[in-house]
Amino acid sequence: MAQAPLPKIFLTHSWRNIEFARRLYSDLRAQGFELWFDDKTLKAGHRMAEEINRALLWCDVYIPVISRAALASEWCWEEINAAITLSMQPGRNKRPRIVTALVEDCAREMPPSLSARLYINFTDRYDEALRELLDKGFGIILPSAQAPARQTSAVEPPAAQPELGLPERDHVEPARQQFSPASPRPKARARFFNPRFLIVVEVAALVLLIVCGIAFYIGYVRIETATLVLPFDFRALAGLQTITQRRGADNAEMVYVAAGDFRMGTNEGEDDEKPLRFVYLDTFWIDKLEVTNALYRHCVDAGKCRQPSFSTSATRNLYYGDRDYADWPVLVSWTDAQTYCAWAGKRLPTEAEWEKAARGVNALTYPWGNTFDAKRLNSAESKRGDTVKVGNFANASPCGALDLAGNVSEWVADWYGKDYYSTAPYHNPKGPSAGYLHVARGGSWNDYQTSAQTFHRFAFFDGTLNTVGFRCAQ
């Protein structure tokens, strides 16, 4: 009876754990596995993001080597989130499966997206843990009295996969089999092709190259996930580059926020901002800028929105309706903001979505970093005393959104709950089911620097204030 093929493995790591990763790579190769491992597979001239993209699509199992250095690495986090997102795409049968190799005693620091999956603790027990990985992860049982055979000669890495998309297939767990460390699983035999077959392969590759070129020229390849149309690229899945589209009835520019874990809250701020904890969010889009007077006017003209309650601002007798302030943030109530977003085919962002868009996966204190800079926002420190034009500062958040600190605070969808950060669910929290105050985020022209922190929360009654605007999500 033919043996089931071994799963193909993507092995990833922080560079502080490179020696462990090299050892694990050699031991898995000794058992006949085919692996993608940057230290062995990447060659001079390769573009890392493109190679990672191919490898994520190619692999059956994704093994992140997790340490505190990896947990602190933005690149590692984004790549892990990309693998998790890809595994949830329709038609992929949960490929790649994620199996974590833990090399430090930091299991409690891992987010549930990793700790709830199979993970193997290699800390001070490498040989035992490797046997556990082969058994629980792949159904290969090695004699417990011996460590797996180690390769001493250099191993040629698997060839980089040229295809961007591979035929879908169900992942089949191999039957449990006994292998001796003295006689590792036989390597796959070299494949030889006759000339005619090579010609067919070359023609198919050329056609694939043309199709991919057309797709990239158009700019987008559809991924069936919710209602999003995303660039089919590791950098897009991982959030490592800013992805923008004009979306909705208002045709406003929006930025893409990748699915995955981020750290919400803080351990050092106000009681309603505590604790610092992991939260998982699905992919979403959020407006790059706050909704302006001009955009809101389109909704009013369409008969869907009512005029703002006040046409003035803090220092201007005419604000809404004055063409000179068309690109300034509109000042409306929470209800009016909800109405506008619904007209545009969008919604207000949840509080968790707003916070992830503002701080990214590294729990930034401010959208641009961890140090306050009064030149990057319109806050009380600047003494302007009123709103300014949107997009006027170099304060882009990790996803590319602007003005998430200062100018105006922003309504979000959630009711306010003082203890909600400590009780919110891990997956896609949407706020308390009821309340009497609404949450606003981001601080305004009238607030000082602590209010501009990405975890700071405001609570207001529904009404129009000269310090509060909004942006939409989708």
Look at residue 201 in the predicted model and tell me its pLDDT. Answer: 53
Cβ burial, residue 23 (10 Å; 0-12/13-18/19+): middle
Selecting from 3.40.50.10140, 3.40.1190.20, 3.30.70.2740, 3.30.70.1520, what CATH number does the domain 9-149+169-178 have? 3.40.50.10140
SS3 state of residue 148: coil
Say if strands 468-470 and 438-441 run parallel, antiparallel, or are unpaired. Answer: unpaired
Secondary structure letter of residue 246 according to DSSP: E
Look at residue 196 in the predicted model and tell me its pLDDT. Answer: 53
Look at residue 108 in the predicted model and tell me its pLDDT. Answer: 87
Whether 158 and 175 have beta carbons less than 8 Å apart is answered as: no
Helix ranges restricted to H, 219-286: 234-238
Both structure tokens of 191: 């494949």
Look at residue 293 in the predicted model and tell me its pLDDT. Answer: 98
Q: Where are the domains of the chain?
A: 9-149+169-178, 259-470
Look at residue 204 in the predicted model and tell me its pLDDT. Answer: 63
Please state, in angstroms and rounded to a whole number, the distance separating the CA atoms of residues 61 and 329.
47
Which CATH architecture fits 259-470?
Answer: Alpha-Beta Complex (3.90)
Look at residue 202 in the predicted model and tell me its pLDDT. Answer: 61
Whether 390 and 407 have beta carbons less than 8 Å apart is answered as: yes
Q: What sign does the dihedral 387-389-390-395 (CA atoms) show?
A: negative
Matching fold, domains 9-149+169-178 and 259-470: no
Question: How many residues are recorded in the chain?
Answer: 474
Look at residue 208 in the predicted model and tell me its pLDDT. Answer: 63
- Can you give the pTM of this predicted structure? 0.68
Average pLDDT, 10 consecutive residues per value, the chain (474 residues) = 82 92 94 91 73 88 93 81 83 90 91 88 94 90 57 40 33 37 40 48 62 46 31 47 88 93 92 94 96 98 96 96 97 98 98 96 92 96 96 94 97 97 95 95 96 96 96 98
Whether 385 and 378 have beta carbons less than 8 Å apart is answered as: no
Look at residue 205 in the predicted model and tell me its pLDDT. Answer: 61
